[in-house]
């Protein structure tokens, strides 16, 4: 019953964001605005990546909570590099986590994690842009997330945009069909993700994490933190007091940043939701970016402290 209550509470919390995202995705699709948005962002991908990384670093979404919004962005035709910048930075920091980190550990640590979220968003966006220009990720989306099918117009076309879509029966049908399909798709995956998270919260022993990331590990604690963070991370708020306790026991600050970054971006519930939206190559790229980014953040912070 505890797991059922956890899933219900988590889904009720995310339901308003899910509903808003589904309606937005369906509206943009029915109006034909996906092509307009794609055209605008495609003209200046660098600026789009910069804005997405900054917005993601300050957005109030957790690892799972960002998925409905990302699905809406993908359906709206926003290029993958811009979405990648938001996707990686958003789960790493939000206003509540910033305040809690400052109160539990230190304001310096909170600022470091905020800067890390922004920097990793930029890294994800520009690295993805470079690979796309080299020919990779030509068709990154799968299933319901795909924003263009056979016979669809180019995302750089702005023809046929009708914001008041309900005045045309064909567009109204497109809206209702898109809302139904996207809503069912995201609900299914989010419920499964929350169910797995509830089992992790109930059965993951904190002393296992403590023994793996303790002070006796030295610099090895940083790559260990990246490896342990993926399966052991629960959620942003549950991880903060755990990391605070580990740091009081001598855990290196670099390892703490690495654990929070790797876990926040690639925790099993969040990763499952990501996997539902994109093809395997993009999913593997996402995990690689998060893992490398968490290591760079950890070693960089540790080096800065030693200077």
Over residues 186-199, the pLDDT tens digits come to 687 667 767 766 77
Q: Report yes or no: 226 and 31 within 8 Å, Cβ to Cβ.
A: no
pLDDT at 140: 82
- On the 0-12 / 13-18 / 19+ scale of CB atoms within 10 A, 212 is middle
Q: Between 293 and 42, whose confidence is greater?
A: 293
- On the 0-12 / 13-18 / 19+ scale of CB atoms within 10 A, 6 is middle
3-state DSSP call for residue 141? strand
Q: Between 24 and 223, whose confidence is greater?
A: 223
109 pLDDT band (50/70/90 cuts)? very high
Q: Between 30 and 217, whose confidence is greater?
A: 30
> DSSP string spanning 241-304?
HHHHHHHHTT--HHHHHHHHHHHHHH-HHHHHHHHHHB-HHHHHHHHHHHHHHHHHHHHHHHHH
pLDDT at 150: 32
157 pLDDT band (50/70/90 cuts)? very low
Q: Between 110 and 160, whose confidence is greater?
A: 110
pLDDT at 111: 94
Q: Which residues of 267-302 are buried (b: 16+ CB within 10 A; e: fewer)?
A: bbbbbbbbbbbbbeebbebbbebbbebbbbbbbebb
- pLDDT per residue as tens digits for the range 195-254: 766 776 666 555 556 566 655 666 687 888 888 776 666 566 667 777 777 787 777 888
Computed over every residue of the chain, the mean pLDDT equals 76
Domain parsing of the chain, residue ranges: 2-306
Most confident residue range from 22-31, 103-112, 119-128, 258-267: 119-128
pLDDT at 160: 63
Q: Between 60 and 112, whose confidence is greater?
A: 112
- pLDDT per residue as tens digits for the range 268-287: 666 766 777 788 899 999 88
Q: CA nearest 89: which of 128, 129, 124? A: 124
Q: Report yes or no: 284 and 140 within 8 Å, Cβ to Cβ.
A: no
User: What does the chain come to in residues?
Assistant: 307
């Amino acid at each position: 019953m505890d797991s059922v209550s956890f899933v219900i509470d988590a889904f009720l919390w995310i339901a308003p964001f899910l509903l808003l995202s589904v309606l937005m995705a369906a509206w943009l699709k029915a109006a034909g605005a996906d092509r307009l948005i794609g055209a605008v962002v495609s003209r200046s991908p660098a600026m789009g990546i910069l804005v997405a990384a900054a917005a993601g670093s300050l957005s109030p979404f957790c690892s799972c909570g960002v998925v409905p919004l990302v699905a809406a962005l993908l359906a709206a035709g926003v290029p993958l590099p811009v979405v990648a910048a938001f996707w990686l930075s958003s789960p790493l920091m939000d206003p509540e986590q910033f305040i809690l980190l400052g109160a539990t550990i230190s304001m310096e640590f909170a600022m470091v994690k905020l800067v890390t979220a922004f920097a990793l968003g930029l890294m994800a966006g520009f690295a993805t842009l470079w690979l796309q220009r080299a020919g990779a990720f030509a068709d990154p989306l799968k299933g319901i997330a795909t924003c263009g099918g056979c016979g669809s117009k180019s995302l750089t076309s702005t023809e046929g945009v009708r914001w008041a879509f309900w005045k045309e029966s064909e567009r109204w049908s497109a809206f209702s069909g898109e809302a139904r399909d996207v809503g069912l798709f995201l609900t299914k995956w989010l419920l499964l993700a929350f169910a797995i998270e509830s089992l992790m919260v109930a059965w993951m022993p904190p002393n296992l994490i403590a023994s793996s990331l303790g002070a006796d590990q030295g610099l090895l604690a940083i790559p260990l933190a990246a490896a342990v963070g993926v399966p052991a991370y629960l959620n942003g708020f549950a991880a903060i007091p755990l990391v605070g306790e580990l740091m009081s026991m001598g855990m290196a600050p670099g390892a703490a940043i690495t654990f929070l970054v790797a876990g926040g971006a690639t925790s099993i519930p969040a990763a499952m939701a990501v996997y539902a939206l994109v093809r395997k190559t993009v999913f593997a790229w996402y995990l690689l970016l998060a893992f490398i980014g968490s290591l760079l953040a950890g070693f960089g912070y540790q080096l800065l402290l030693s200077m």
